[in-house]
Structure 1
């Protein structure tokens, strides 16, 4: 059969071997090819027939097997069909499933019963062991009872939401047994360590009653507490009483000595020990004597170590955790903090306290009262080593407390007689009183009156900074912050304390203004005065100049507030004149004059308050501001009148004259010293005042205009005199229209004023 699977090469059937694959076949070649293919086909068929005949038996066997397999397949199909019909007629699978469910249910029930039986065995064993522990406790076998409770804790299951209720019952039983053991041991500890308050004694009994058993060793009780893990609970009450009746008197009573004696010392077996605190009037030690206090404490703690805990480091360490935080706080509060020096030069003398503190803590570590490796227990040494910080902190608190009390308790009212007469006219008695409040300003050639609080506060700041040259960097930095904070207290306290006075026209407001001005000047000088005294690394940070602008701004704000309040009062008074209308009528004139009198009264009151307190330059500037407002307002009101009768001009002129005449004393306070003795009729003084108060020149000129003829007014305008006084052409034109009737002359004058081009 290989011929069937071989390939036929066309070129083998052709005669020409030089035939190219790309060249087409000729007709003779094609006919030859067809003939040879037919011959080859016949040859193949003959070979196939011969092969089939030679393997006839094999093919017959194959066909027989195929027929048999097909018959078996049909038979199996019939059997399956019959089985399916059988199952559909009788549901055997349901019976099998029910049987399997019964088997599974019975098996689960059997498992539950086995678990219940196992649980009952466990519960029975636990209850038996709990009962045994209680019996041991009653019999005085506290160590066995403690071990049983400890081991039972491992057997009791942890809480679970799906646990049997019996587990909760077991847990409650164990907790009840644990509480019983804990209470019995704590009671035994309390019976063994007794504090006799009246006799100031601590009695330790080595054997005490536990349950129904006498003579149980104290060490046995402590061992049992250690086993069950209740040392903290059992020693808590002893620790509290030890602090109250032994440690506190030992620290605070300088006349007491510590005595230790053993009970039945002559016998082979001691029954206990007693620690007594004996006071003696002949033996009095300074409460700040660190050596005596530390010595007494070491004796007490050594007694505890030897006679209560029998030199057991674990028990002693537990007791130390309960008591050391409070003991260290007591020592710091009653000894170390009080021993901190008050003067920076005495800080070095504190080294002896540091040495005693270190030795004391070393002794405690040897007795395992505090941990030898945990530095957090070295609380006393840490405090003592930072003595500079504590010294500086205490001084800072003292400085701030003193500054606060000074500001809260000081009065800011300068109740001085004849204070309003002017600073150059004080009597000797008044001058002496004023000298207490009079201070020099560092950067101004003037003196001002300040409150006692400000001067004392600045003195306190100077005292604080005077010690920086002898201080370390940390102390100097604290002093620097203390000085700054003391000054800031003024800014924080005084405006709140005197808020009511600051919102009214009051002398106190000006005193605070002077205080702020004085403090700002002093603050600017602090850096120059003390910067060289600060240690090198603090010099760059010791800056005060940043505070000065705040006080300067505060002073200016207070002054401007007073000016606004005064201006508001003057505005109300001028408004009462009703625009100075119809003053030719008696009633209207009286009303206007009353308003002028009110204005003068307010200005005189302000003069009396301001002149003695404010700096001369500040007084002149502030008073000129107020007067300028008054004069400009009166001038404006008169110039706004649209109809002025002839008699009315005289009355208005009279009102202006009254105003200026009644303010002569105020003008006198504003004049320079060189002109103070000149009369106001002389022009030099008025010229000086008009330079300081621009509206005064305009008001005085308005007084003249009210009595001038029309041509004179026009000529005065053309000369530029009115412009120099502050008038504008519209004001002059309206003034002329209000006084003079319409006429050709008035029109001519108005035209001349409008065309003068002086504005």
Structure 2
């Protein structure tokens, strides 16, 4: 059949040379020829198909027969399925099967739960029986068996690993186990108290091998130790015994200077050793000094060997447990009572301390061999660590000593002025005065002057210089600690003195001025420390040692103290002047006496300040501070007088008298200021300015005294000449003053007009 389906090429049905070109169009005859030939070809194909069917008739018949059988079987299957479906629809067997399956599942689940419950009950009953057995064995003295049971029951009950949703009975069982465990702990503690005792009268530690507690007689100490180890309560039960041995044996053994001695004894019975005794004997020589530490360490090892042999029975695990329990305290005792006391006080003795370092290392090695210390835990070697870091401890000790000295001298200083100090002039560095012999008269590094300071400041700086000299001679680690000691010692002044002198700083006294000088002196000394010592410091701290940062805080403290004193003086003077009641009605005797009393009090305060400040302050500081105070006083008095609105003739004379009296009484004070100007250095501020320029109100109050009895025309002429304006008077003050003194008249109006219209 394949040739029938071959592809037919239409052009093959034509003939002619003009058909070689595919683009040549076909003519009508050509098309007719093609149709004719296609019809012929179609008939040929039909003939071949018919021949093929006839030749394969049997094959096609067999194929059609098979198809008929398949259709029949399909119909039969369909009938069977229909029958089954009809049966199912008549009787719902699937529902019955489902019910049966559910019932089987429930029954199986109930059976499984009952089996699990039965298993749980068996476990609970077993645990209860074991708890009762352990309790019974414990009461009968079978301590090891009871301890093993408690240990296994702890795992079975998952103590410490509880989960939510567990049966309540587990909580009850755990409570029973905890009660039993507590009873065991209490009983074992009693056993150890009975086993290890200290007799105060004979100073003896006794270790009994046969124990009797709560009707349990003849229990071996070794058995008790085994049971405690199995139960995991060795540390708890040994705690009291450890405290007893540390208190009565280890501490006396380590006592530096008067150590105790020890003697061992063993009492043998018919069944072996019944008791071991450690006698604590006082030292025969009360002046023993174990500088090398060999004897001290030997006594401690003797005590620990006694424990190792007679309490721990040479069991490595037990002595290790005892070591974990006691070594932190023992090492602290050795450090505090021995090692810290033999730390060298001088850097030159650090080499001798190496002997103690060596015997300390040997001591810890001996403890490691006895398994008292762990071979792998580096934290146990605390003594070696301390002794090997002796430089740090030496530096810390010296630092503590320096700070202690600084604190004591600051607290003990009374801030008094030297008795032989009588200077009233400036203290130059080359003045050659007898006062120079006092160590409280110090040089100011950045000034040509000297000043008087407290013993606290001078001694503090002596201590600082001594410590810095040690810094230059010490190793880097020690030098670093000394450097911090110096800084802390200086800062102690800032922390201690203001609190100590708080009450004195609120009054007018020499203490505050001494403290001002102290702060000024310390600030300049601090600035000079780096220049003086830095080149000799160890290289490792040269770039890190800084002092200059502390200088500004002391300079600021000095200024705050001085300004506080100035304000206190000004406040007291204002209170005194307030008592004059504005200098009103001084023509009345009572008012005059009141004003005079206020002036006298002000003069008294100023003289007191003059005596204190001139003798203690530098001339420039004294001049500046006193001028501020005087300016405040004079300006206040001048202001009060100029505010008076009506003055009688007698009243003006009394006011003039008060002014002259005040200025006369302050003449010595004003002369001291002039001498301070004359003696001041040329580089100091205001040296060329007269006193009236530094106290503007002084010129004004003097002129006011003159104006009080000056004729009106003279007053007017003085204003026109500019004299009054140069003294600080204003046109308003002058007009009010004229109106207060002179009655209203044509002359007064004319003078006021002249004053208002003058051109200055």
With normalisation by structure 2, the TM-score equals 0.82
Larger mean Cα displacement after TM superposition, 432-441 or 654-663 = 432-441
From the superposition, tell whether residues 441 and 159 of structure 1 become closer, same or farther in structure 2 (CA, over 3 Å): closer
From the superposition, tell whether residues 572 and 247 of structure 1 become closer, same or farther in structure 2 (CA, over 3 Å): closer
Paired with 2:213 and 2:595, the residues of 1 have a C-alpha distance of 106
Paired with 2:236 and 2:637, the residues of 1 have a C-alpha distance of 90
Paired with 2:285 and 2:492, the residues of 1 have a C-alpha distance of 49
Q: Is 1:619 aligned with 2:641? A: no
Paired with 2:68 and 2:755, the residues of 1 have a C-alpha distance of 152
Q: Is 1:276 aligned with 2:276? A: no
1:237 maps to 240
Paired with 1:23 and 1:575, the residues of 2 have a C-alpha distance of 142
Paired with 2:442 and 2:734, the residues of 1 have a C-alpha distance of 50
Q: How does 1:246-645 map to 2 (within 5 A)?
A: 246-252=249-255, 254=258, 256-264=260-268, 269-279=272-282, 281=284, 285-286=288-289, 290-412=293-415, 422=424, 438-531=441-534, 534-571=537-574, 599-633=602-636
Q: Is the 8 A contact 2:424 2:615 kept in 1?
A: yes
Q: Is the 8 A contact 2:292 2:356 kept in 1?
A: no
**1:567-600 C-alpha deviation (Å, 9 max, x unpaired):** 3444566677787789889998888767655654
From the superposition, tell whether residues 436 and 57 of structure 1 become closer, same or farther in structure 2 (CA, over 3 Å): same
Aligned residues: 739
CA displacement at 1:334 relative to structure 2: 1.4
Paired with 1:708 and 1:615, the residues of 2 have a C-alpha distance of 41
From the superposition, tell whether residues 629 and 7 of structure 1 become closer, same or farther in structure 2 (CA, over 3 Å): farther
Q: Is the 8 A contact 2:620 2:676 kept in 1?
A: no
From the superposition, tell whether residues 423 and 724 of structure 1 become closer, same or farther in structure 2 (CA, over 3 Å): same
CA displacement at 1:218 relative to structure 2: 4.0
Q: How does 1:163-242 map to 2 (within 5 A)?
A: 163-168=166-171, 170-172=173-175, 175=178, 187-208=190-211, 217-242=220-245
Q: Is the 8 A contact 2:253 2:259 kept in 1?
A: no
CA displacement at 1:320 relative to structure 2: 0.8
Q: Is the 8 A contact 2:645 2:737 kept in 1?
A: yes
Q: Is 1:9 aligned with 2:16? A: no
1:242 aligns to what SS in structure 2? helix
Larger mean Cα displacement after TM superposition, 719-728 or 436-445 = 719-728
Larger mean Cα displacement after TM superposition, 12-21 or 408-417 = 408-417
Paired with 2:166 and 2:676, the residues of 1 have a C-alpha distance of 105
2:99 maps to 98
Paired with 2:593 and 2:190, the residues of 1 have a C-alpha distance of 100
Paired with 1:164 and 1:381, the residues of 2 have a C-alpha distance of 54
From the superposition, tell whether residues 74 and 693 of structure 1 become closer, same or farther in structure 2 (CA, over 3 Å): same
**1:219-263 C-alpha deviation (Å, 9 max, x unpaired):** 444344334433323323322222223222333393632111222
Q: Is the 8 A contact 1:262 1:274 kept in 2?
A: yes
With normalisation by structure 1, the TM-score equals 0.82
CA displacement at 1:321 relative to structure 2: 0.8
From the superposition, tell whether residues 119 and 588 of structure 1 become closer, same or farther in structure 2 (CA, over 3 Å): closer
From the superposition, tell whether residues 631 and 233 of structure 1 become closer, same or farther in structure 2 (CA, over 3 Å): closer
Paired with 2:24 and 2:349, the residues of 1 have a C-alpha distance of 128
Q: Is the 8 A contact 1:250 1:277 kept in 2?
A: no
Larger mean Cα displacement after TM superposition, 567-576 or 375-384 = 567-576
Paired with 1:737 and 1:34, the residues of 2 have a C-alpha distance of 154
Paired with 1:22 and 1:156, the residues of 2 have a C-alpha distance of 104
Paired with 1:743 and 1:401, the residues of 2 have a C-alpha distance of 78
The alignment yields a C-alpha RMSD, in angstroms, of 4.5
2:431 maps to none
CA displacement at 1:370 relative to structure 2: 1.0
Paired with 1:392 and 1:171, the residues of 2 have a C-alpha distance of 56
From the superposition, tell whether residues 26 and 181 of structure 1 become closer, same or farther in structure 2 (CA, over 3 Å): farther
1:349 aligns to what SS in structure 2? coil
Q: Is the 8 A contact 1:255 1:281 kept in 2?
A: no
Paired with 1:268 and 1:86, the residues of 2 have a C-alpha distance of 97
From the superposition, tell whether residues 43 and 313 of structure 1 become closer, same or farther in structure 2 (CA, over 3 Å): same
Paired with 1:112 and 1:655, the residues of 2 have a C-alpha distance of 118
Larger mean Cα displacement after TM superposition, 94-103 or 118-127 = 118-127
**1:326-360 C-alpha deviation (Å, 9 max, x unpaired):** 11111111111222233444333333322332222
2:261 aligns to what SS in structure 1? strand
Which residues of structure 2 form unaligned runs of 5+?
A: 428-433, 680-686
CA displacement at 1:46 relative to structure 2: 4.2
CA displacement at 1:399 relative to structure 2: 3.0
2:699 maps to 697
Q: Is the 8 A contact 2:716 2:751 kept in 1?
A: no
Q: Is the 8 A contact 1:149 1:178 kept in 2?
A: yes
Q: Is the 8 A contact 2:731 2:755 kept in 1?
A: no
2:430 maps to none
**1:664-706 C-alpha deviation (Å, 9 max, x unpaired):** 2321221217989xxxxxxxx9984224334433444555566
1:348 aligns to what SS in structure 2? coil
Q: Is the 8 A contact 2:426 2:449 kept in 1?
A: no
2:8 aligns to what SS in structure 1? coil
From the superposition, tell whether residues 193 and 728 of structure 1 become closer, same or farther in structure 2 (CA, over 3 Å): closer
CA displacement at 1:550 relative to structure 2: 1.5
1:301 aligns to what SS in structure 2? helix
1:679 maps to none
From the superposition, tell whether residues 13 and 606 of structure 1 become closer, same or farther in structure 2 (CA, over 3 Å): farther
CA displacement at 1:118 relative to structure 2: 3.5
**1:372-427 C-alpha deviation (Å, 9 max, x unpaired):** 332211111222222222222223223323433443444346698998x95699xx
CA displacement at 1:620 relative to structure 2: 1.0
Q: Is 1:33 aligned with 2:34? A: yes
Paired with 1:178 and 1:354, the residues of 2 have a C-alpha distance of 45
Paired with 1:645 and 1:71, the residues of 2 have a C-alpha distance of 158
Larger mean Cα displacement after TM superposition, 204-213 or 347-356 = 204-213
Q: Is the 8 A contact 1:345 1:470 kept in 2?
A: no
1:457 aligns to what SS in structure 2? helix
From the superposition, tell whether residues 249 and 605 of structure 1 become closer, same or farther in structure 2 (CA, over 3 Å): closer
Paired with 1:630 and 1:546, the residues of 2 have a C-alpha distance of 39
Q: Is the 8 A contact 2:716 2:754 kept in 1?
A: no
Q: Is the 8 A contact 2:576 2:598 kept in 1?
A: yes
Q: Is the 8 A contact 1:469 1:535 kept in 2?
A: yes
1:555 aligns to what SS in structure 2? helix
Paired with 2:286 and 2:577, the residues of 1 have a C-alpha distance of 84
Larger mean Cα displacement after TM superposition, 732-741 or 525-534 = 732-741
2:682 maps to none
CA displacement at 1:121 relative to structure 2: 4.5
CA displacement at 1:291 relative to structure 2: 2.9
**1:528-559 C-alpha deviation (Å, 9 max, x unpaired):** 55445543433444433332222111111111
CA displacement at 1:99 relative to structure 2: 0.8
From the superposition, tell whether residues 222 and 574 of structure 1 become closer, same or farther in structure 2 (CA, over 3 Å): closer
CA displacement at 1:128 relative to structure 2: 5.4
Q: Is the 8 A contact 1:416 1:434 kept in 2?
A: no
